[in-house]
Structure 1
């Protein structure tokens, strides 16, 4: 395999459970959106979706497919509408464990502890203090367009936690890390609580009444067995956690820095520049190649899924001048960025 192709494959490391994609084709039919077009424009055409309990797909591709579907449907709340109209979708080992938790606190803690098995989220935190409880998480910096992904994940987590409460749990605040939609009505109706858009991370804050909100679906044997399975799966994910993913995440978090160096990223990872370069070389990769790969993928999403001017895209990707970005885009896509955008932009369908 050529070196540049290997670099591209190796740097797209963020994953989500394959079952997250299940049901999207059905909802696209409901919304009169051609699912094959969604797959083609999101780069998923011809890919096999592994929906087994241990199967994963590209998180970036899944998030992009939701954004493409939303654009084609002309609906900036597509992800939330999907949950409201067709439900949260099929379960996997984490949500099954949550279903059988002894009480709401146990469900909240299990969600936070094992969430990384389902999706490569960051900064996951569960807090329980008396009658107040909260769950927070953030999507990776490498994802450019996340409004639909955010709505889908938040509404699924909210729905699955609320069913555990047995009527003794109410949502008191939803902080959502997406831009405010043109109309808040759908979100207000769904969450029935104060909402803050544009948050730095996603957070659901609950008020729990009674004695810890016992779970009406409680099954201690099933919960223990599923938690044991999830612990093993989490250990497997951690052992398999590719070093390249950690480096790519560090690059993504500082992608707008115009002079990002291997030393900057090495400091973030608490290692020396030489050590970082050596470990990359062991995988036949380079820092420059990873940096290019992250920039290229983010550029593709910014060009296809936003109407940001070239100057803003160049700035967000750490280019000191638009001309530098244009030359890089020609190298990545084989044509000027404006031409690539014209050919790949997702345009809402005509009603």
Structure 2
């Protein structure tokens, strides 16, 4: 079992998907799961994708690629409006689980303890989905499954609902008789109405507006051996998961790995080539050479990540320009304004106004 998790960690460390907006991607197989949810409701997912003006390729190609997590987040928002369902993330992942009914969910079911299952799922999600953070933390008598999204994903509410639902319901089938269910769920999103609905779906008290996202379990409970554990079967299924994730990595590239590192520290005004090289584990000279081989430069990627994040925050949020300046790594608003004029051809205030939908 340990060898399988170590191999998953190695695959996770090489994550960084190619194509689209660097630094925020999700495996395209998620589209198939979402399509299975909307079809009985009278919708064709590919038609919805086209209606929104997105491009994920033909449905036959979805399973073989990574897609923009930003675009996928916008798609969930769009579907929420079309279905008049503010809880689409909860409903989708309750009725049509993304991974619990698939290979990774099957492997997790045979782990020695629920804690082993949570660790396996965290490694899998980190490789299949570009998350800023995804890990299992132990503190005192509690175990938390913790996650956060790339800052490029400025409207992560439905995505976060999906993750919370998947994790909170991991052990629902065995939780009633074993006590493996969560103690509580904490999410960054604002509290929706009615207040008790999330608790009913997730099976635990929910705290809204917290500093981070986490599903919290009792350490003693999730460390108990489970009745259906099978070490040999778990190892065999984990090996299949490792192979599946290794296949996914064929679609990922070095440039995107660098973008991921830049994006994780984008607020750091002292971010530079040397810091990124050290984080990746190579000398600045080697990093420059590898980027040049791929037709890129560090400064060009750094500028691109700042521009993409700034455009998302300006277009899709009401965050003050002074705060956006800080979030994209500028020490002064004036410096950000000059950069925005170079990126967008006008000041950030005017560009934001130009992106606002026209009302009649």
Aligned with 1:293: secondary structure?
helix
Q: Work out the CA distance in 1 between the residues paired with 2:196 and 2:43.
A: 23
1:55-85 Cα deviation digits (max 9, x unpaired): 432333223322454567776644224335x
Matched, 1:293 2:304: yes
Matched, 1:151 2:195: no
Q: What's the TM-score, normalizing by structure 2?
A: 0.73
Matched, 1:275 2:286: yes
Q: Work out the CA distance in 1 between the residues paired with 2:317 and 2:39.
A: 21
Q: Verify the 8 A CA contact 2:135 2:147 in the aligned structure 1.
A: yes
Aligned with 2:302: secondary structure?
helix
Q: How does 1:169-208 map to 2 (within 5 A)?
A: 169-176=180-187, 178-183=188-193, 184-199=195-210, 201-207=212-218, 208=221
Q: 1:137 aligns with which of 143, 147, 162?
A: 147
Q: Work out the CA distance in 1 between the residues paired with 2:216 and 2:46.
A: 35
Matched, 1:98 2:108: yes
How far the C-alpha of 1:16 sits from its partner, in A, is: 1.9
Residue matched to 2:125: 115
Residue matched to 2:11: none
Alpha-carbon RMSD:
4.2
Q: Work out the CA distance in 2 between the residues paired with 1:211 and 1:126.
A: 17
Q: Verify the 8 A CA contact 2:112 2:226 in the aligned structure 1.
A: no
Matched, 1:255 2:266: yes
Between 285-294 and 61-70, the greater mean CA deviation after superposition: 61-70
Q: Work out the CA distance in 2 between the residues paired with 1:40 and 1:292.
A: 31
Q: Work out the CA distance in 2 between the residues paired with 1:253 and 1:143.
A: 13
1:280-331 Cα deviation digits (max 9, x unpaired): 1121101121112212221232123212233332332234555554554454
Q: Work out the CA distance in 2 between the residues paired with 1:290 and 1:75.
A: 38
1:9-32 Cα deviation digits (max 9, x unpaired): 586154322232335465499599
Q: Work out the CA distance in 2 between the residues paired with 1:252 and 1:165.
A: 38
5+ unaligned residues in a row in structure 1: which ranges?
1-7
Q: Verify the 8 A CA contact 1:166 1:214 in the aligned structure 2.
A: no
Matched, 1:232 2:259: no
Matched, 1:212 2:221: no
Length, aligned pairs only: 336
| Change beyond 3 A, Cα 1:275–1:192 | same
Q: Work out the CA distance in 2 between the residues paired with 1:276 and 1:245.
A: 13
Aligned with 2:147: secondary structure?
strand
Residue matched to 1:314: 325
Q: Work out the CA distance in 1 between the residues paired with 2:181 and 2:271.
A: 45
Aligned with 1:22: secondary structure?
helix
Q: Work out the CA distance in 2 between the residues paired with 1:74 and 1:267.
A: 48
5+ unaligned residues in a row in structure 2: which ranges?
1-17
Residue matched to 1:244: 255
| Change beyond 3 A, Cα 1:239–1:282 | same
Q: How does 1:162-173 map to 2 (within 5 A)?
A: 162-165=172-175, 167-168=177-178, 169-173=180-184
How far the C-alpha of 1:277 sits from its partner, in A, is: 2.0
Matched, 1:64 2:77: no
Q: Work out the CA distance in 2 between the residues paired with 1:29 and 1:139.
A: 30
Between 18-27 and 334-343, the greater mean CA deviation after superposition: 334-343
Aligned with 1:171: secondary structure?
coil
